[in-house]
Amino acid sequence: MAKQIKAESNLSTEEKIKEAARVVFTKKGYAGTKTRDIAEEAGLNLALLNYYFRSKEKLFEIVMMEKVKQLFSFIAPALNEEETSLDEKLELIASSYIDMLIKNPDLPIFVLSEIRNNAESFGKMIQSKGYVLKTHFIQQLAEQKKDINPIQFFLNFMSMMIFPFIAKPILTVAGPVNDETFTQLLKERKALIPKWMKMMLE
Amino acid sequence: MAKQIKAESNLSTEEKIKEAARVVFTKKGYAGTKTRDIAEEAGLNLALLNYYFRSKEKLFEIVMMEKVKQLFSFIAPALNEEETSLDEKLELIASSYIDMLIKNPDLPIFVLSEIRNNAESFGKMIQSKGYVLKTHFIQQLAEQKKDINPIQFFLNFMSMMIFPFIAKPILTVAGPVNDETFTQLLKERKALIPKWMKMMLE
DNA sequence: TATTGATTTAAACATTTGATTAATTCAAAT
DNA sequence: ATTTGAATTAATCAAATGTTTAAATCAATA
C-alpha cells in the first residue's frame, strides 16, 4: 500500500504547496530539500511548484520570511508593552513563547542555520537595527539594576528559552530524556525561567 | 588574479583534504557542501577525495566524529572531576569552554544541525547514555540544593554558554553587535555565567 | 454544446554532482 | 637507467535535480 502523504484537503493547490514547503524546508533545510520532496509531501505534480512559484528559491524565500517572523516578531511587541512590569514581561513572554516553540520545535534550528548560510539577505527581514535595546523592557531593566549589561541579560533570557529546542536531538539521544519528558521539562521551564531571571537581578 | 585558496603547506594530501573538508562541511553543512568545493578549498584534484576517502559520506563521517568529540568530550571529564567544588567546576568549565567556542564559533550550529538530520547514527558517537546525570557535578548539585532539577540546571548552563554562538548571525545583523563587541561580550560571559549559575542556587 | 482559458500531467531537458576510469607523472628501489 | 607501484590528472559517466514544454484535463461561460 502506497503511503498516504497527506490527508486530502480543501486547500488550494498553491496553499498545499506552501504548506508542504513549510514542512520539508523546516525539517531538512534549503540545501537538503529536493523539489521532488515537496511535490511528494503535497501529493502534487512536480511542475506545479514552478507553475505557482517560479523556482525553489522563490518558494523558499516565502517560507523563510514567514518563519523569521514567527520566531522574532512574536517577542518584539511584548518587549515594548508599556503596561506590564519587568517581572510580568518575563513571565508572559516565557510562557507564551515556550508554548509557541513546543508547537514548532524545529523553528529555531531551521531559522538560525539558514540565516548563517545567507546572513546578508536577512538584514532586510529584520526590523530596525538595535530595536531591542530601545524597548521598554530594556528601560525597565536599566532602572531596576544598573550594573548588568542589558544585552547579556536579554541573551540569557533567549538562550534559556530557545536552546533546549536546538539541543533536543542530543538530549534524546545521549541524555535521559524522551519526547514526553522533554515536553514536560519545557513546560516546567515556563515558570522556572522567569524565576531564574529574577534571581539574576538580585 | 585567481584567488589563492590556501597557503601551500607541507601537509600530506590526505591531511589537506581532511582540513579542507573540516572548513567546508562546518561552514555549509553536509547537504550544502559539494565535493568540488572541498577539492577547490584544498587546491587538489577532485578525484583525490575518492582516492583517499572512498566517498563524500565517509569523509563527512570522519569530520563529524571529530567535531562531535570537540563539542562534547570537552565537558565530560570536567564534570566528573573529583577534586573541584561545584563553584570551581562552573568557573573552570565556563572559562575553558567559551574559549574553545570563540576559536570554533561555527562548531555548535554545525553539530546540532547535522545531528538533527541524522539523529540515529549519532547515538553511537555519544558515550554511555545518561552519563551526565551520574557525574560528580550532578552529585554535588543534588547535595547543595535538593529542590532543583539537575537536568534543568545543566541545561541552563549549556544554554548560556552555547546559544550566543548559534545566535551570532542574528545578533550581528539585527542587533547592536559587531564581530569585536561579540567577542568582548563572550569574554565577559566567562566570568558572568558562573556568577549567574550560583545565583540560581540560592 | 462548443469554446476558452486556467490547471494539471508526463515527459524531457540541461546542469550539477558524486564517482570512476585510464592515462600520466612521480619517487623510490633495483 | 629501468622498473615498479603509488599518486595525480583530465576526461567521462550515471544519477540526481531544478526547470521547461507540450499535451491533456477541467471548469466556467457563451
What CATH number corresponds to the domain at position A124?
1.10.357.10
Same domain, A46 and A82: no
CATH of the domain at A50: 1.10.10.60
Same domain, A31 and A122: no
How many folded domains does chain A comprise?
A: 2
Same domain, B77 and B56: no
The residue written with cell numbers 506545479 in the block is: A48
Same domain, B86 and B49: no
Same domain, B170 and B103: yes
Same domain, A36 and A85: no
The verdict on residue A4 lying in a domain is no
The verdict on residue A2 lying in a domain is no
Measured over the CA atoms of residue A86, residue B187, residue A162 and residue A24, the dihedral's sign is: positive
Report, as an integer, the average pLDDT of B104-121. 92
Domain containing B91 equals: 73-200
The span from the CA of A49 to the CA of B58, in Å, is 34
The verdict on residue B65 lying in a domain is no
The verdict on residue A81 lying in a domain is yes
- Test B200 with A199 for CB contact under 8 angstroms: yes
Q: What is the pLDDT of residues A129-182, one digit of tens each?
A: 788 889 999 999 999 987 899 999 999 999 999 999 999 999 988 877 899 999
The verdict on residue B7 lying in a domain is no
Scanning residues 20 through 79 of protein chain A, those with a beta carbon under 7 Å from any atom of strand D turn out to be 33-36, 46-47, 49-50, 54-57
Please give the single-letter amino acid code of residue B71: L
The verdict on residue A5 lying in a domain is no
Using a CB-CB distance cutoff of 8 angstroms, which residues of chain B are in contact with residue A196?
156, 200
Length of chain B: 202
- Test B117 with A177 for CB contact under 8 angstroms: no
Q: What is the DSSP letter of B3?
A: P
Q: Dihedrals φ, ψ of B120, to 5°?
A: -55, -55
- Contacts with B16 (C-beta within 8 Å, 6 or more apart), sequence order: B6, B9, B42, B43, B44
Q: In whole numbers, what is the pLDDT of chain B averaged over residues?
A: 91
Length B20 CA → C26 C1' (Å): 24
Task: Give the global pTM.
Answer: 0.92
Same domain, A45 and A94: no
C-alpha pair distances (Å), B114 with each of A109, A113, B26: 10, 10, 10
Same domain, A42 and A140: no
Report, as an integer, the average pLDDT of B128-132. 79
The verdict on residue A3 lying in a domain is no
C-alpha pair distances (Å), B61 with each of A80, B21, B122: 46, 11, 10
By CB atoms closer than 10 A (0-12, 13-18, 19+), residue B67 is: buried
Please give the single-letter amino acid code of residue A90: L
The verdict on residue B170 lying in a domain is yes
- Residue B134's nearest CA partner among B94, B70, B47, B76 is B76
Same domain, B77 and B48: no
By CB atoms closer than 10 A (0-12, 13-18, 19+), residue B170 is: buried
What ipTM was assigned to the predicted interfaces of this complex? 0.91
Q: Dihedrals φ, ψ of B149, to 5°?
A: -75, 120
> How near does any CA of chain A get to the CA of B12, in Å?
30
Same domain, A146 and A169: yes
Residue nearest to nucleotide C16 (CA to C1'): B34
pLDDT beneath 70, residues of chain A = 1-9, 127-128
Q: Tell me the three state secondary structure of residue A55.
A: coil
Q: What is the pLDDT of residues B12-57, one digit of tens each?
A: 999 999 999 999 999 999 999 999 999 999 999 999 999 999 999 9
Same domain, A140 and A195: yes
Same domain, A172 and A77: yes
